[in-house]
Chain A
Amino acid sequence: MKRKRVAVTGIGVLSCLGIGKEQFWQGFLEGRKGFKTPSLFDASDLETKIAGEITDFDPKDILGKKGLVDLDRATTLLLSAIQFSLKDSGIDIADINELTTGISVGTTLASLSSLSEFDRKSIEEGPHFVNPSRFPNTVINSPASRAAIRFKVKGPNVTISTGFCAGLDALEYSLDCINFNRADRMISAAVEEMSLPAFFGFNKLGCHSGGISFSEGASSLVLEELSAGLAREVNIYAEVLGTGSSFYPFRLHKFHPEAKSLIEAMREALEDACLAPEEIGCLFADADSRRDADLAQTKAIKEVFGSHANELPVNSVTSIAGDSFSASGGLAMVAALGALARKEAGKIMISSSGPNGSSTVAIIASYN
């Protein structure tokens, strides 16, 4: 099937490094970490006491006062990221065919705090005392659907919940929508919110000890055909050259020591982008300081890049922005776009992989 050339023309991001892409990129240049004692809940009785929370986030500042009453944190984070990206790309949905624009969102835990709040009310006060206008927040696609309502986006609206890979899976789905003529442009986003149930869950699964620093985050990229971006004479941040994705069945919550799915996904992405491993200038790896995860990453890099692995700069966005689970792939994409904007890297590979056996990889490059 003949592939279209797809460009990134808008970026929106909120992370524990700050609100907006400049703050985000500046955070990386300074090596500033975003972890602190959480203000959203009391973590004093938990093993891990720091979290990657977005402080100073007031949705009213970004979205205005109207229509925020029933929205949960994940939704307002997502709406803010999308609003930034649309403005950045110079697209006004009202001016274009709203049917030809779509949204794909990667998130797995977006509904967790809303579920918890709704459930608590139903148990403590009884089923009749739940707030019906909060019920829609208990479905995982609520943030994406509310984004469609707010921005009048009537094309494909998809929520993908694939854990650590969801951000890049949503990106690949957006590319598919453009390639299969389901949409002319896509908003590819990812979000996870900080909440006690999510933080506690990661804590209990032992991800914090010697591992993940759980953080929240939201990102949004406007993707459109390169020719459309050029015709609009907007800034082309990058071209997405290819993607790859794979699954290797092993054991749930355990990385395969041979990193088979990541190797496969990296190779598929290289093939999709028609590139040799040596042509990759930098790797934004999904290393999150869990021992088995990082060993698997290293194994995959050496296997796929051979001797080039010795010269290939590899970084981990997670070390600075924390691990935001399904939003992590989106944040890594935005970080990589920042490196391209500063002309500090050639072609960049971004990888994500989860202990369930999934891996997804994307390759981007500056347009010239």
Chain B
Amino acid sequence: MAKRVVVTGLGVISSIGIGKENFWQSLIKGVCGVKKVGSFDTSGHTAHLGAEAANFNPVDFINKKKIKYLGRASQMAIASTKLALEDAGLEIKALKDLRAAVSFGTTMGEIQSFEKADQEWIRNGKEAIDVLDIYKYPSHNIPSNVAIEFGLKARNRLFTTACAAGNYAIGYGFDLLRCGRADLAVTGGADVFSWIAFTGFDKIGAIAPQECSPFDKNRKGTIPADGSAALILETLDRALERKADIYAEILGYGLSCDAYHMTSPSVEGIAECMRQALKDANIKDSAVDYISAHGTGTIYNDRAESVAINEVFGKRRISVSSIKSMLGHTMGVASALEAISCCLTIKQDIIPPTINYKTPDPECDIDCVANVARKQKVNIALNNAFGFGGNNSCLVIKKYAS
């Protein structure tokens, strides 16, 4: 018999708040994290906005001596994990005796270490590179550093499935617990602000000049962002035994691949992914109350996602919102932040809005919870995430009931 898996701790590093409480208050108030990019000079680019977790300071979370050996993505991952473990009421000492897995997702990994080394190479030759940057770069350092910091001794994975990676990582943690390979899993994602990603998105015209306005007729693109999210997953038995506060239950997830185009989404692939998720969770489409959309704010994504939602859910109006309107697109960590938002939505029965929504788009014929948070009972939420290359993932999260 497969074990039931629940979420018992949440940790957030984001442009709209550090810690789940600040994050949640910003989400339901519709606070926007978008500002002028601070990580680098954008005078050579067409776009200039980003949603950086600029308030994140590693010394608030990590011993000073260790910081220089950690890339910024690892620093953020450790910080969000620390917040999530505290939120779950778990003592670090107690983790040593558990089979605690780590499963994270990322798009760009420790890209800032690479960019620093590469710029040195280009300007001053490869011998000028600081070896520490090479040491910090390999992306699998992210989950390894989390495990080393907290003494976590089970499977350790990094999923690099672009902007869908967070859901892949959470789904994997869910599978490990379900089949008894781990007692606890730290799952989530980390992505840092990247010159290369910003330059690429800028060049393909995917960055909005002023705001990220998903599902709006005049939407002009997404806003690159960074941050980290961690969710503590435990088997229900363990959570009950230690009387943990349970946010929600993970019911299952679906994966699919468009096998169509590297950057353009496909309705068929997205619809298939949601169907796989419903099948894996063993629920009917009528049971779903809310969809946390991928909703990037680009013309193509929002149209394809809206059409796919209507295809899977028929004529029924379902509440759909995109918190990327506030957070921008945090890449590989986006779906992990959105999973946290879903857990809090389910716990509080409040749906965060899609802000910046002004003009309805007949091609995005969905109820996008425009501009203002909505009080609504949410029993089951779907969390959509689609990445470059047509990597699609959809997580099913349910209100916990014994």
Cβ B389 vs Cβ A140 within 8 A: no
Q: Tell me the minimal C-beta distance from B114 to chain A in angstroms.
A: 6
Cβ B122 vs Cβ A249 within 8 A: no
Cβ A157 vs Cβ B139 within 8 A: no
A250 within 8 A of B: yes
Cβ B388 vs Cβ A155 within 8 A: no
Within 8 A of A (CB), among B104-156: 107-109, 111, 114-115, 118-119, 122-123, 126, 129, 131, 134-135, 137-141, 143-145, 147-156
Cβ B118 vs Cβ A120 within 8 A: yes
Among the stretches B16-24, B193-201, B219-227, B315-323, the one at the interface with A is B193-201
List residues of chain A with CB under 8 Å of any chain B CB: 1, 98-99, 102-103, 108-109, 112, 115-116, 118-120, 122-124, 126-128, 130, 132, 135-136, 138-142, 144-146, 148-149, 151-163, 166, 169, 173, 176, 180, 182, 197, 200-201, 204-205, 245-253, 261, 264, 354, 356-358
Cβ B262 vs Cβ A162 within 8 A: no
- How many Å lie between the Cα of A163 and that of B69 in the bound state? 18
Residues in B whose Cβ lies below 8 Å from that of A112? 114
Nearest A residue to B118 via CB reads A119
Q: Tell me the minimal C-beta distance from A342 to chain B in angstroms.
A: 33
Task: Given contact pairs A154-B257, A247-B144, enumerate 14 new A-B contacts (beta carbons under 8 Å).
Answer: A1-B2, A122-B195, A123-B122, A127-B44, A132-B204, A136-B263, A154-B256, A157-B161, A160-B157, A169-B157, A182-B280, A245-B155, A252-B135, A356-B141
Pick the residue among B151, B159, B262, B276 that contacts A249 (CB under 8 A).
Answer: B151
Cβ A252 vs Cβ B272 within 8 A: no
Cβ B147 vs Cβ A247 within 8 A: yes
Cβ A247 vs Cβ B196 within 8 A: no
B305 within 8 A of A: no
Cβ B389 vs Cβ A157 within 8 A: yes
B93 within 8 A of A: no
Cβ A122 vs Cβ B263 within 8 A: no
B102 within 8 A of A: yes
B202 within 8 A of A: yes
Q: Tell me the minimal C-beta distance from A176 to chain B in angstroms.
A: 6
Residues in A whose Cβ lies below 8 Å from that of B144? 163, 247, 252, 356-358
Nearest B residue to A248 via CB reads B153
Cβ B203 vs Cβ A158 within 8 A: no
B183 within 8 A of A: no
Nearest B residue to A144 via CB reads B389
Pick the residue among B102, B135, B179, B280 that contacts A247 (CB under 8 A).
Answer: B102
Please give me the 9 A-B residue pairs with the lowest Cβ-Cβ distance, nearest first.
A145-B389, A157-B257, A135-B200, A140-B160, A247-B156, A356-B144, A136-B262, A156-B255, A163-B140
- How many Å lie between the Cα of A162 and that of B46 in the bound state? 36
Cβ B200 vs Cβ A132 within 8 A: yes
Q: Tell me the minimal C-beta distance from B2 to chain A in angstroms.
A: 6
B170 within 8 A of A: no
Residues in A whose Cβ lies below 8 Å from that of B30? none
Residues in A whose Cβ lies below 8 Å from that of B287? none
- Contacts known (A200-B126, A246-B155, A357-B156); A161 close to B139, Cβ less than 8 A: yes
- How many Å lie between the Cα of A118 and that of B111 in the bound state? 13
Nearest A residue to B256 via CB reads A154
Using C-beta atoms within 8 Å of the partner chain, give the interface range for chain B.
35 or more
Nearest A residue to B130 via CB reads A204
Q: Tell me the minimal C-beta distance from A254 to chain B in angstroms.
A: 10
B175 within 8 A of A: yes
- How many Å lie between the Cα of A101 and that of B95 in the bound state? 37
Pick the residue among B107, B137, B156, B159 that contacts A139 (CB under 8 A).
Answer: B107
Q: Supply 19 A–B pairs (Cβ within 8 Å), ascending by A.
A: A116-B118, A120-B118, A123-B122, A128-B46, A139-B108, A139-B389, A145-B390, A146-B262, A161-B158, A163-B144, A182-B255, A249-B148, A250-B148, A253-B135, A261-B153, A354-B140, A357-B144, A357-B148, A358-B144
B259 within 8 A of A: yes
- Contacts known (A135-B204, A163-B140, A357-B156); A127 close to B389, Cβ less than 8 A: no
Pick the residue among A98, A157, A246, A261 that contacts B391 (CB under 8 A).
Answer: A157
Residues in B whose Cβ lies below 8 Å from that of A250? 148
- How many Å lie between the Cα of A119 and that of B204 in the bound state? 15
Cβ A132 vs Cβ B259 within 8 A: no
- How many Å lie between the Cα of A238 and that of B2 in the bound state? 28
Cβ B202 vs Cβ A127 within 8 A: yes
Pick the residue among A127, A157, A176 that contacts B203 (CB under 8 A).
Answer: A127
Residues in A whose Cβ lies below 8 Å from that of B150? 249
Residues in B whose Cβ lies below 8 Å from that of A120? 118, 122
Cβ B153 vs Cβ A249 within 8 A: yes
- Contacts known (A158-B159, A247-B156, A357-B144); A148 close to B196, Cβ less than 8 A: no
Residues in A whose Cβ lies below 8 Å from that of B338? none
Residues in B whose Cβ lies below 8 Å from that of A136? 262-263, 388-389
- How many Å lie between the Cα of A163 and that of B147 in the bound state? 15
Pick the residue among A109, A146, A155 that contacts B255 (CB under 8 A).
Answer: A155
B352 within 8 A of A: no
Q: Tell me the minimal C-beta distance from A32 to chain B in angstroms.
A: 30
- How many Å lie between the Cα of A116 and that of B196 in the bound state? 9
Pick the residue among B46, B111, B259 that contacts A152 (CB under 8 A).
Answer: B259
Residues in B whose Cβ lies below 8 Å from that of A123? 119, 122-123
Residues in B whose Cβ lies below 8 Å from that of A128? 44-46, 203
Residues in A whose Cβ lies below 8 Å from that of B138? 108-109, 163
Within 8 A of A (CB), among B224-257: 255-257
Nearest A residue to B127 via CB reads A45
Residues in B whose Cβ lies below 8 Å from that of A248? 153
Q: Tell me the minimal C-beta distance from A8 to chain B in angstroms.
A: 22
Cβ B272 vs Cβ A130 within 8 A: no
Q: Tell me the minimal C-beta distance from A87 to chain B in angstroms.
A: 19
Residues in A whose Cβ lies below 8 Å from that of B196? 115, 118-119, 122, 138
Cβ A201 vs Cβ B260 within 8 A: no
B162 within 8 A of A: yes
Residues in A whose Cβ lies below 8 Å from that of B69? 252
Pick the residue among A98, A109, A122 that contacts B199 (CB under 8 A).
Answer: A122
Pick the residue among A116, A139, A162 that contacts B140 (CB under 8 A).
Answer: A162
Q: Tell me the minimal C-beta distance from A109 to chain B in angstroms.
A: 7
Residues in A whose Cβ lies below 8 Å from that of B101? 247
- How many Å lie between the Cα of A254 and that of B129 in the bound state? 22
Within 8 A of A (CB), among B373-392: 387-391
- Contacts known (A130-B199, A141-B391, A357-B144); A149 close to B259, Cβ less than 8 A: yes
